[in-house]
Structure 1
Amino acid sequence: MNSPEDREYNRERVDHEPTSSVHIDGDDDESTALLSPGISPDSRTGHVSKERRTFCLFTLFNGIFIVMLWLIMVSIKSSQTGISYTAVVLEEVIQTDVSKTSFDIIWLAIFRATVLLLAYAACKWKCRFPVASTTCITSGYAFFKILHTDEQRATQRVQNQHNLHVRQHQSPRGEHPPTQEDDFHSLSEFVDGMDEGDYDLDLDLEDISHLSNEERQYVQQGEDAMRNVISMLGMESVWNKEKSRDDGDVYTLIGPNNMKIFILKMSLLCPPEVVYEEVMLRPERMPSWNRAVIDCQVLMRIRDHTLVTYDVSAGAANGYVKPRDFVNVRRIEKQGQRYISAGMSTSHEDKPPSSDFVRGNNDSGGFIVQKNSEQRNACSFIWILNTDIKGSIPRYLVNKSLAEIMFAFASSLRQHLKDTHTQHRPSSGAVPRQSRL
C-alpha cells in the first residue's frame, strides 16, 4: 500500500496533467501551430477559425457588392441613353475596348473572389501569397485601364481643339475676297465653259439679304456642317481602317461622346462633274439607283447653295428594323479641286416626326468629290456618315452593319455612273463621251 505521502503526491500529478477529454479550441490550435511550423491547425482538426470564416464571407460579399454596383450603373446608363436595359448589358459584355466598358471590373471581382475562396476556404492555406498576388493583378489592371482611358480622352480633346482651331480660323464667306485657289468659288464659276443644259445649277432663288430668319438659320447650320466636314478631312492621318473591298475602303473616326464616324473612300473612273451632279445636285434622284433609300424630297432650296431635304431609309430584317426618316440641311460648295456637300439633321414644319418611321439624327457629314490630279478622267469620292438611327437597336450592332451599307452604296453608285454618265455631254477638257468607268 502507498503511504499517505505517496497518495498525496499522485493526486498532485493527476491535477497538473491534461485529460484526453479537454476540447482544443481555435486559440489552442494556433498555439500548437507555433510549435509545428508548416502545419495548418485547420487541416489538423477540421475546424475553421472565426477569423478565417469572417475573411471568406467578406471576400464573397465584396464580389457581390461590385456586381450590384455594376448593375445599378447599367440601369442609370439605360435611363440616360434611352436604350433598353438588355441592350446596354449586351453592349457592355461584348465591348472589347477597356475605355468604353466597365464589365471587365466584374471579371476582376469574380477572379479575385474565386482565388481567395479556393485558397483560404477550400485549401485552408495560411500563407499570404493569394492575397498579395490577386491584389497586384487587380491593381495593375485598374492602373492600365485608367491610363488607357485617359489616353482616349486626351485624343478626343486634341480632336476637339483641332475642330475649334479650324472654326476660329475660317472666316465666314463674304468678309474678305477669295485670294487662294482653295477659297470658295461659286458653282457657276466652276462650270464655266460647259454647254448650257448639261448641268443645271439653279440653286439661287433670291438674294441672301432677303432671306427669312428660318432660311438664315438653315444657312448657318449648313456652314457649321461644312466647317466640321472640312475638319474631319484634315484628320485623315488618324482615320482607322475598318474594312477594305474592291468597291473601296471604310475608315472610322471617334467623334464626340465616343460615337464612331464612318468614312467611305473610293476611286471612280469618271469626271468629278458627273458625280457632283448625280449625288449632290439632285439628291431626289437617289432612290432610283440606291435601294437603301426609298424616298428623298427637296423641301427647300436657298440661294446660298443650301438645301433642306427629307430622306427615308429602307427597313431591314423583314420589317423587324423599321424605316428611318431624316430631315437634313445640306450646303454645297466648290473648294479648289473638290466639291463638298455637307449636312446635318434639322427640323422642318412640313415633316414632323411620324409614327410610321423612327426619326434618326445625323451629325455633320456628307459627300466629297476630289479631282484626281494623276488621272484626268478619274476622281476620288468620300462619304462621311455620322448618324444615330435611334430606336432600341444596340449601338454595336448598328456599327457592324454601317460598313456593309456603305459598301452597298459604293456598288450602286458605280453601276449608276456606268449607266448614266455617257448621257452627259462633256465640257472642254472633260473625258470623251465614250470613256468607260
Structure 2
Amino acid sequence: MADRRHIREAAESLLGSVTGPHYCRNLSHSQSINLVSEDLVAGHRPHGKMSTVRRFFCLFVTFDILFSSLMWLICVMMRGETLEQIVEREIIHYNIKTSLFDIVLVAIIRFVVLLLFYGLLYINNWSIIALSTGGTCAFLISKVFFYDWPNASTPVYQVFLILASFTLSWGETWFLDFRVLPQEQQAKYILEAIGGHTSERTPLLNTCNERASPLRPPGVQSTYGESTVNWFSPVETPESSPKRRRPGEQLILTQEQGLVDCPIKFLHDEFKNNIVRIPEWNPTILQSEFIKEIADGIDLTYQVTAGGGRGIISPRDFVNLRRVAPMTKDGRVTDGEPYCYVISAISVKVPDYPPRSDMVRGNNKVSCWVLKPKSVQLPDGRIVQTTVFQWLLCCDLKGKIPQFVLDAAFATVMLDYIVHLRKFAANAKAKGLF
C-alpha cells in the first residue's frame, strides 16, 4: 500500500504542469527538435551529475593548459638548448623580458581557478571567469610591452603563443556565458515546465478549484478538481540495480481507473461512431479522420496530436488500425451483454496516407482503452451508472527526444485526456443526450 500511495502522489505531482486545455503550438518541428537536442540534452543534469555542456567547458579549460604548454615547449626548443638550460633560463632565472614560462603559469592559474569554481563548486555565475580573463588580458598586454622582441630567436612562435593564450581565455568566457549558463538555465526551465516545480514545502496534492461531484464519496475532497484519477505505471528501476532502460525503449503507462459520469453505452458509441468529432471537445487531438471500415468494429483512422511539454514536443500524426469489441470477463469477444468494451489500436502503413513532410509520423506500438460499467450510489441513495475508463499506452514519438521528457509528457497528456473526457460527458448530460 505504501508503494501504491507513493506512485499515486508522484503521478498527481505532475498535475502542476497542467495549466489549461491549451498547448503551446507556436514552435515549428525543427525549432522543437533544436530546443530539445541543444538546450535540454546538453544542459540537463542527470541524477545531479555534471551537465554535458559544462563537462565540455572543463575539457576546453584542460585543452587550454595543454596547448599553452605545448606551444611554450616548441618556442623554447627552437633555440637548440638542452632541457636543463631551458629550465634554468625560463624558470629558475625567470625574467619577464626573456622568459615565456609566465604565459604557461597564467594558463595553470586559469585551469585551477576555473575547474575549482565551475567544475567542483559548480557555481552559476560569470564573475570568476570574468576576473580570470580580465587578469589574463592585462598580463598579456603588459607582456607585449616588457618583452625583449629585438633579441627574440623565433618571434613568430612567441607572438602566436601570446595570441593563443589571449584567444583561449576569451573563448572560455564566451562559451561559459553564452553556452553553459544559458543552456543549464533553459534545461531547468523546461523540466520545471514539464514536471512542475516542487520543493519539500510544496504540497503534493493540489486542492484548488474544488467543485462538488456526485461521484465523490461524502467528506472526500478532490485533489485536482474533477480530474482525480488513480494511476499506475511501472516503478523505476532501483538505483542500485544494474538494469536500466535502454535507449529507445518505451515506458508503458497505464491509467488504472478514471470514473466518467456517463453510461458505458454512450461512451462506447461516441468513440466508435463519432471519432471525427473528438477534436471538438479534446484539444489534445488536432485532427481526427475516419479512413475506412474493414469489418464490423474494425477500421482505419488518422489522427494528429497536439504538441506536448509546452512546445518541446511538436505535433505528431498516426495512422491506426483500430478494433472496438465487447468482451466477456475472461477476455472473449461476445455478442451478448459485455463485461467491458475494449478499444485497441496499432500503427499501420496505408498507401493513401504517407508520412507528411511537415510532420513526424509517430508509431503507436500498442494502445488500448477499456470501458467498464460501474454503479455508484449517491449520497441521497440513488444509483447512477458510470463508466470506468482505463488506458494502456506505449508509443514511440520518434525524433531526438530524451526518454525522461517523454515519460513526463505522456503522463501529462493522459491526465489532460481524462479531464477533457469528463467535461465532454458533463456537457452531454446537461444537454440530455443520456
**Structure index of larger Rg:** 1
Same fold (TM over 0.5): no
Give the TM-score range, shorter chain: 0.3 to 0.5
